[in-house]
Structure 1
């Protein structure tokens, strides 16, 4: 699976990493629903850190399409709210 962090690049992740990412995604959704900026910031930073630590950099010269696109670390609650689908940022 290829995950893009906007403004940063792509990472290759094993499908089994999705379980951990989904838990963090749920925290982001909850923070957005409650308008809790501190919780949102912590959850987003945790999600992006998990992608970086669980994945490996995808080849820069590759033109492969990303399976998931995540917001940049400086995204606001409103920007991320617009990116959310029915399943959050990460489907499943």
Structure 2
């Protein structure tokens, strides 16, 4: 097996992992409301929203790392084909 299928396979795995992570985060945040809770009788709503926000805050570093890895791999794949074009026109 050549180098190019392995490169594309690795990129595809990272891409699918990133998409699955984004789906997971969107499913987790679907119950999040951007509202201000002022009444003490609605403390349970405020606590639920704070729990959701704390879970979302914990996922941010993972999302940034996956996005950075996907970006670096995309640049690598683009650079590989750019260098291939330069080699062909030498």
TM-score range, shorter-chain basis? Answer: 0.3 to 0.5
Report the structure number with the largest CA radius of gyration: 2
Q: TM-score, normalised by structure 1?
A: 0.37
Q: TM-score, normalised by structure 2?
A: 0.38
Q: Going by fraction, where is strand more abundant, 1 or 2?
A: 1
